[in-house]
Amino acid sequence: MAYSDKVLDHFKNPRNVGTLDKSKNNVGTGLVGAPECGDVMRLQIEVDDETGTIKDAKFKTFGCGSAIASSSLATEWLKGKSVDEALEIDNMDIVEELALPPVKIHCSVLAEDAIKSAIADYQQKNGIAVSEKAQASGHH
Amino acid sequence: MNKKLIYLDNNATTPCDPRVVEAMVPYFYQHPGNAASRNHPFGWAAEEAVDYAREQIANLIHVDPKEIIFTSGATESDNLAIKGVFEMYSRKGNHIITLTTEHKAVLDTCQKIEKMGGEVTYLEVDREGRVNLDDLEAAIKDNTILVSIMWANNETGVIQDMKAIGDICARHGVLLMSDATQVVGKIPVNPKEVGIHLMAFTGHKMYGPKGVGALFVNRKKPRVKVTAQLDGGGHERGMRSGTLNVPGIVGFGKAAEIAAQEMEKDTERLSKLRDKLEKALCERLEEVYINGSVEHRMPHVTNLSFKHVEGEGLMMTFNQNIAVSSGSACTSASLEPSYVLIALGLGDDLAHSSIRFSLGRFTTEEEVDDAIEALVQGVNHMRDLSPIWEMYKEGVDIDSIEWAEH
The tens digit of pLDDT for each residue in B360-405 reads 999 999 999 999 999 999 999 999 999 999 999 999 888 888 886 5
Decide: B187 and B298 in contact? Cβ < 8 Å: yes
Decide: B198 and B78 in contact? Cβ < 8 Å: no
For residues B390 and A95, give the distance between their C-alpha atoms in angstroms, rounded to a whole number: 28
DSSP string of A10-56, one letter each residue: HHHS-SSBS---TTSTTEEEEEEEEGGGTEEEEEEEEE-TTT-BEEE
Decide: B387 and B309 in contact? Cβ < 8 Å: no
Residue B365 CB neighbour total at 10 angstroms: 12
pLDDT at B1 over 60: no
Give the closest-approach CA distance of A126 to chain B in angstroms. Answer: 23
Helices B311-318, B365-385: inter-axial angle, 10-degree rounding: 130
The tens digit of pLDDT for each residue in B143-202 reads 999 999 999 999 999 999 999 999 999 999 999 999 999 999 999 999 999 999 999 999
Pairing of strands B325-326, B6-7: unpaired
Decide: B33 and B246 in contact? Cβ < 8 Å: yes
The structure's pTM equals: 0.93
> Which pLDDT score, from 0 to 100, does residue A132 have?
85
DSSP tag of B143: T
For residues A123 and A26, give the distance between their C-alpha atoms in angstroms, rounded to a whole number: 9
| End-to-end CA, chain B | 39
3-state secondary structure of B272: helix
Q: Is B330 a catalytic residue?
A: yes
> Which pLDDT score, from 0 to 100, does residue B336 have?
79
**What residues of chain B, 309 to 338, have a C-beta less than 8 Å from chain A?**
309-310, 312-313, 316, 328-330, 333, 335, 337
User: Cα B13 from chain centroid?
Assistant: 10
Exposure on the CB side of residue B360, measured as CA atoms within 13 A: 22
Decide: B84 and B227 in contact? Cβ < 8 Å: yes
ipTM: 0.90
> Which pLDDT score, from 0 to 100, does residue B403 have?
80
3-state secondary structure of B182: coil
* Catalytic residue IDs of A: 37, 107
- Across all residues in chain B, what is the average pLDDT? 95
What backbone torsions phi and psi does residue B303 show, to the nearest 5 degrees?
-120, 115
The tens digit of pLDDT for each residue in B253-296 reads 999 999 999 999 999 999 999 999 999 999 999 999 999 999 99
For an interface test with B, the pick among A11, A17, A23, A37 (most B C-beta atoms closer than 10 Å) comes out as A37
For residues A48 and A53, give the distance between their C-alpha atoms in angstroms, rounded to a whole number: 5
Residue contact B313–A14, C-beta within 8 A = no
Within an 8 Å CB–CB cutoff, is residue A32 touching chain B?
yes
pLDDT band at B332 (very low <50, low <70, confident <90, very high): low
Decide: A135 and A119 in contact? Cβ < 8 Å: no
State mean pLDDT over B225-243.
95
Residue contact B406–A14, C-beta within 8 A = no
> Which pLDDT score, from 0 to 100, does residue A139 have?
43
Q: Which residues of chain A have pLDDT under 70?
A: 1, 136-140
> Which pLDDT score, from 0 to 100, does residue A37 have?
84
Within an 8 Å CB–CB cutoff, is residue B398 touching chain A?
yes
| End-to-end CA, chain A | 25
> Which pLDDT score, from 0 to 100, does residue A140 have?
42
For residues B124 and A12, give the distance between their C-alpha atoms in angstroms, rounded to a whole number: 40
Whether a cis peptide bond, with omega within 30° of 0, leads into B222 is yes
